[in-house]
Amino acid sequence: MKYSPLQIERYKYQPKLPTILRENIHSIVPEFGDSTEAKSDQRELKSLFPNTYGMPVVSFKKGSSDTTSNQINVGVVLSGGQAPGGHNVIAGIFDALKAANPKSKLYGFLGGPSGILDDDLMELTREVVDSYRNTGGFDIIGSGRTKIESEDQYARCAEVCRSHNIEALVVIGGDDSNTNAAVLAEYFRQTDAGIAVIGAPKTIDGDLKNEHIEVSFGFDTATKTYAELIGNIQRDTNSARKYWHFIKLMGRSASHICLECALQTQPNVALISEEVAEKRQTLAEIVNSIADTIAARSRKGEDYGVVLVPEGLIEFIPEVGSLIAKVNDLLARRSDEFAGIEQNEEKIAWTEAALDGKEQDVFSSLPKEIQAQLLMDRDPHGNVQVSRIETEKLLIQMVEQRLKEMKQEGAFTGTFSHQSHFFGYEGRCAFPSNFDADYCYSLGYNAFLLISSGLTGYISSVTNLSAPAEQWKAGGVPITMMMNLEQRHGEKKPVIKKALVELDGRTFSTFAAARDIWAAETSYIFPGAIQYFGPAEVCDQPTRTLQLESGR
């Protein structure tokens, strides 16, 4: 197989570890803090997790360990969408496991959680692991979205792990995947299965975080990748001076990606879903605001600009969110009837007739293309797949119509030419930045130490991430303390609470203080490509979000 020069060089890169993890692996021991509580629903969660609720936060310190040298087999699974750095989590587990005892083995379950249920796995040897170090993607073992949520599935997982003498399982995934890890850990503890479960925090969306998980891995690389592309488009529009570019960015439940990319590039407009919901902004108000910015720039002879749109925006607009909830419920209740309709036009007419009141009015006002997209196949939770709704094109159409009205009113005399983009998959498997390469390797190395310390139901935690890597802090957090109860499929389920953009936080406040200037003046920043070689201030810097949240 041929490799690019960059890939060859990345194979050589040795990720940086926190100082404590650089010690001889047999000289690292856990230090336990106080018992923990979830922030809400404590009584219910304690009832659901009687064996793993309330465990202490763990950090690591120097000492003498008599357990790390034990021979052990560990299984690892990649769950959910890809995020840059996943291969380095596996490399970190492997290197720690082999440093502790060369006879220990690491197995990878293929194709995600279904690989456990199907007993489909491979041993991850040094030759295999070395060929994926510091590379993007999840192709070392593949990923999947199968959910392990029934007692039969839990029992099957235990059976498969025992058949290979696997004593610990590392689940690399997002909030849903780590929720499953906590449930599995509880089941294994309750049934004395003798199998530990440790999680690793993954999602480019950045919505799996708290005081102990400062950032989920992949966010750094993905936002830098998108910011490069946005910067390139800004350079182009600043040169051509004739297009308004509407760019939709990944992030269904939270706008962290959009906010971070705005801070890195300074576009003319960046919409933040959480602010739209907080202010209860209507679709018309959002459209009018964008049109006013376009008109103001046009009066200065600048008929061009850039608008950033979070993927999940449409669900945060109150009247559209209400419509989507009604449509989700309608299609769930009358699924057989809806499934018998083949043509899009007939589906739209059926839905319009089945709705009433405000929701019917909103649905009728949307362009046919958007109506059809709202009726596409649902996700496993029965929700609309917002990534398939072309919100950026909806805004373009409505802004265009508003500008025509403004032209008739004499409030707009310029031109409005437009381009639309969706940046999503472009960032999920990029070569990880130095930050993500280091962070992920540390998460994996740290995960093995949690296992060797006899812990289960924890998520690997590396903090103080805005400082140089040698100052990072390693430890673990009980997954149950990050949970709450949410309504899923008609009943309350334990889930890790998603972290949304905090409108009173430093990151949003910094953005909000500057956005009016960016709207009026061309203030673009051009971040350029991710740099892997050179001074630390160029190559190893964390995101603006992480710096601001840490007070740096």
**Which residues does the annotation mark as catalytic?**
205
Contacts of 535 (CB under 8 A, 6+ apart): none
Strand (E) or helix (H) holding 421: strand 418-423
What is Dmax (Cα atoms) for the chain?
A: 80
Q: What is the DSSP letter of 270?
A: E
Strand partners, 306: 245
Rounded Cα gap, residues 350 and 329, in angstroms: 14
373-392 burial, b at 16+ Cβ within 10 Å, e below that, comes to bbbeeeeeeeebebbebbbb
56, 457 contact by CB (below 8 A)? no
Q: Long-range CB contacts (< 8 A, 24+ apart) of 152-155?
A: 153/117, 154/183, 154/184, 154/187, 154/188
Write out the DSSP string of 146-197. Answer: ----SHHHHHHHHHHHHHTTEEEEEEEE-HHHHHHHHHHHHHHHHTT---EE
Report how far apart the first and last C-alpha atoms of the chain are (Å, whole number). 44
Q: Is residue 52 within 8 Å of 478, Cβ to Cβ? A: yes
